[in-house]
């Protein structure tokens, strides 16, 4: 059982720093080998998790949630009031989304999500976070210079639009509901979902459009 001994862990990290090979692949291999040797993990289960988060669970889920909210006002109402229940209607409730909150962009408000203390992310609807989301530059600057950060993503926010940054300091997770692009009134949910980018659901993309959507 753990002793929850911070000093001991700090010493362990110093020893690992000195004695482990530098190559990350070798470090992870050592961890996996020990877990398998001790019967704590089955390597086939690791394969299945990799497949799940490569093929099945990713931002396409979030895009479908957004498209459904755009198309169905009653679904949007449920999503805004109780996001975990609303995503569970689509089978998307899962890792890190039991306390999901949806924050809506409007003409007057732009939302941006960050985790300054670690890298909290709503995995079961957005999959694995992009590298920049987990990097020191984004984590340090998103709360202090959100407009500068957004400009680096090619997003320029008008002065009269309020920027709201959500720092994920608890077990709540945030999903940005981007604005439905104009000229999409005839589109069905599937076509709308194709317009929704991952970055728009984090807040580093604002204006979606027929020619602007991509897989990023």
Partner 1 sequence: MDGIHDLGGKEGYGPIDVDDDGSPFHHDWEGREWGIAQCARTPGITIDWWRHCRELIMPQDYLGRPYFDSWAQTDLSTYIEAGWFSMEEVIVGKATPGESYCGPAAAMSLQQVLQEDHNHAFRFDAEIESVPVFSIGQHVLTSIHGNVGHTRLPQYARGRKGVVHAHHGAHVLPDLSAQGKEVHQHLYSVSFAATELWPEVQNSKDKVYLDLWESYLSDGQP
Size of the site for partner 1 (CB under 8 A): 103
Rule CB under 8 A: choose which of 78, 104, 164, 184 binds partner 1: 164
Nearer to partner 1, 39 or 183 (CB): 39
* Stretch binding partner 1 (CB under 8 A), from 13-21, 70-78, 176-184, 186-194: 13-21
Nearer to partner 1, 72 or 162 (CB): 162
**According to the binding rule CB under 8 A, does residue 158 interact with partner 1?**
no
Beta bridge partners of 111: 164
Rule CB under 8 A: choose which of 77, 90, 137, 209 binds partner 1: 137
Q: Do residues 165 and 146 touch, judged by C-beta distance below 8 A?
A: yes
Q: Rounded to the nearest whole angstrom, what is the least distance from the CB of residue 164 to partner 1 in the complex?
A: 5
Cα–Cα dist 11/119, whole Å? 24
Q: Is the dihedral of CA 31, 134, 3, 8 positive or negative?
A: positive
The 3-class secondary structure across the chain, one letter per residue, is CCCCCHHHHHHHHHHHHHHCCCCHHHHHHHHHHHHHHCCCCCHHHHHHHHHHHHHHCCHHHHHHHHHHHHHCHHHHHHHHHCHHHHHHCCCCCCCCCCCEEEEECCCCEEEEEECCCCCCCCHHHHCCCCHHHHCHHHHHHCCCCHHHHHHHCCCCCCCCCEEEEEECCCCCEEEEECCCCCCCCCCCHHHHHCCCCHHHHHCCCCCCCCCCCCCC
- Among this protein's residues, is 168 annotated catalytic? no
* Stretch binding partner 1 (CB under 8 A), from 16-24, 61-69, 176-184, 186-194: 16-24
- Among this protein's residues, is 115 annotated catalytic? yes
Query: Using CB under 8 A, which residues numbered 196 to 215 contact partner 1?
Result: 198, 204, 215
* Stretch binding partner 1 (CB under 8 A), from 64-72, 73-81, 113-121, 180-188: 113-121
Q: Rounded to the nearest whole angstrom, what is the least distance from the CB of residue 53 to partner 1 in the complex?
A: 5
Rule CB under 8 A: choose which of 68, 168, 193, 196 binds partner 1: 168
Q: Rounded to the nearest whole angstrom, what is the least distance from the CB of residue 155 to partner 1 in the complex?
A: 10
Nearer to partner 1, 123 or 194 (CB): 123
Site string for partner 1, 27-66 (x = CB under 8 A): xxxxxxxxxxxxxxxx-xxxxxxxxxxx-xxxx-------
Active site residues per annotation: 115, 118-120
């Amino acid at each position: 059982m753990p002793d929850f001994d911070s000093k001991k862990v700090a010493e362990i990290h110093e020893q690992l720093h000195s004695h482990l090979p530098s190559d990350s692949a070798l470090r992870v291999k050592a961890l996996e080998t020990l877990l398998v040797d001790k019967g704590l993990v089955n390597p086939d289960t690791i394969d299945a998790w990799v497949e799940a988060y490569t093929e099945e669970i990713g931002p396409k889920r979030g895009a479908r949630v957004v498209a459904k909210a755009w198309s169905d006002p009653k679904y949007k109402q449920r999503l805004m009031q109780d996001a975990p229940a609303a995503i569970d209607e689509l089978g998307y409730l899962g890792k890190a989304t039991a306390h999901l909150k949806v924050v809506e962009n409007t003409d007057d408000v732009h939302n941006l999500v960050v985790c300054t203390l670690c890298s909290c992310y709503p995995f079961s609807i957005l999959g694995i976070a992009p590298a920049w989301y987990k990097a020191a530059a984004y984590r340090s600057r998103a709360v202090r210079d959100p407009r500068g950060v957004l400009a680096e993503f090619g997003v320029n926010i008008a002065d009269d639009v309020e920027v709201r940054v959500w720092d994920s300091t608890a077990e709540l997770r945030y999903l940005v509901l981007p604005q439905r692009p104009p000229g999409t009134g005839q589109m069905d949910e599937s076509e709308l979902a194709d317009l929704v980018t991952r970055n728009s659901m984090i807040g580093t993309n604002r204006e979606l459009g027929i020619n602007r959507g991509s897989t990023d």
